[in-house]
Amino acid sequence: MSFFGLIRLFIFPGVLFAVPAGWFFVWAEHKAVARIQRRIGPPLLQPFYDFIKLLGKRTPARTGVEAVLLKLYPVFSVLSLAGALALLPVFPHSAAGFSGDCVLLVALLEVPSICYILAGFTSGSIYGQIGAIREAVLSVANNVVLLLAIVTVAVTENTFRLTDLAGPTMNPGHWIGVLGILLCIPAKLRLNPFSTSSAEQEIYAGSLTEYAGAALGLWELAHALEWVALTGLVATLVLPAALPWFLYAPAFALVCLLQVLVLSAIAAGTARYTLQRSINFYWRWAGVLAVLAIGSAAAMRFHL
């Protein structure tokens, strides 16, 4: 298990796969939005070049505890996402996973959002604080939907072990949960119509307004890894777990890319919701998923 864990952490779907795939997904997002808006869009390697350029830039001098914390937040975000990628069930059931690893995955996926909120409050910028408040409020709303969606999927298999949840099933509760996770991805990635916490026209860069240089580059890397981790979670739930690795890996990448393109098209074709409208959207879906999760649980109990 430790051998497969190292493979998942460092090779697939970990660092060696996720970093270039993340940059490619960021490029695909920008390119798709540009083409929909009748623009040319960036060249293929532009997100990577931007990252390298940021690493070489000098960061404005800060002193005290705030300076240390502002540097640690993006590091924690990148590390937590690397851990989340290592938990994705991309190998056969007997090779990986442990009881309750689904709960750990959800916690690791939430760390970047928490760090994003803390960064806004720590920065001392009014724009950062407004962005942090918006992110915190929206996170509460969409996390309710995410948790209920994962519970709905888990109820169908009566387990919180990721390897037992991987792959498609005939149970409608599984697909309802997958839909719920998909609904949360735009808010997690701060895409339209749920980009209130990073609305450049209103609050500059939100929580990241005071960031520059290598620290900002790490935030960009974390965003790229979020694309892979969140779309990868959906991919593991819809792809047959019995596929051999040489078929599973390209299928995994293709399903992730399809999600990127669909979500980018939605982002390009929608205006930014107000914070209240975003919250109302997720609370409505939370109610629907709560009813469906309870129904699925009751049906499973009755069946058993």
Q: Which amino acid is at 284?
A: R
What is the extent of the structural domain holding 156? 2-303
Q: What is the pLDDT of residues 203-237, one digit of tens each?
A: 778 899 889 899 999 999 999 999 999 999 999 99
- CA–CA separation, 225 vs 76, rounded Å? 13
Angle, CA 53 vertex, CA 49 and CA 56 arms, to 5°? 145
Contact 208, 221 (CB under 8 A): no
- CA–CA separation, 119 vs 128, rounded Å? 8
Question: For residue 53, what pLDDT is reported?
Answer: 94
pTM (predicted TM-score): 0.92
Q: Which amino acid is at 197?
A: S
Q: What is the pLDDT of residues 69-96, one digit of tens each?
A: 999 999 999 999 999 999 998 876 555 6
Question: For residue 16, what pLDDT is reported?
Answer: 94
- CA–CA separation, 224 vs 205, rounded Å? 17
Contact 174, 239 (CB under 8 A): no
Question: For residue 185, what pLDDT is reported?
Answer: 95
Binned average pLDDT, 10 residues per bin, the chain of 304 residues: 78 93 96 93 94 87 85 96 92 68 94 95 90 93 90 85 88 87 93 87 83 93 97 95 87 97 94 90 83 70 58
Give the CB-side neighbour count of residue 170, counting CA atoms within 13 A.
0
**Coil, strand, or helix at residue 92?**
coil
Give me the residue label for tokens 């070489």.
56
Domains: count for the chain: 1
CA dist 129 → 8, 71, 111, 187 (Å)? 36, 17, 18, 18
Question: For residue 93, what pLDDT is reported?
Answer: 54
206: region left, alpha or beta (phi > 0 left; psi from -120 to 50 alpha)? left
Indicate the angle between helix axes 2-10 and 65-87, nearest 10 degrees.
Answer: 120
- The burial class, CB within 10 Å (0-12 / 13-18 / 19+), for 142 is buried
- CA–CA separation, 179 vs 288, rounded Å? 12
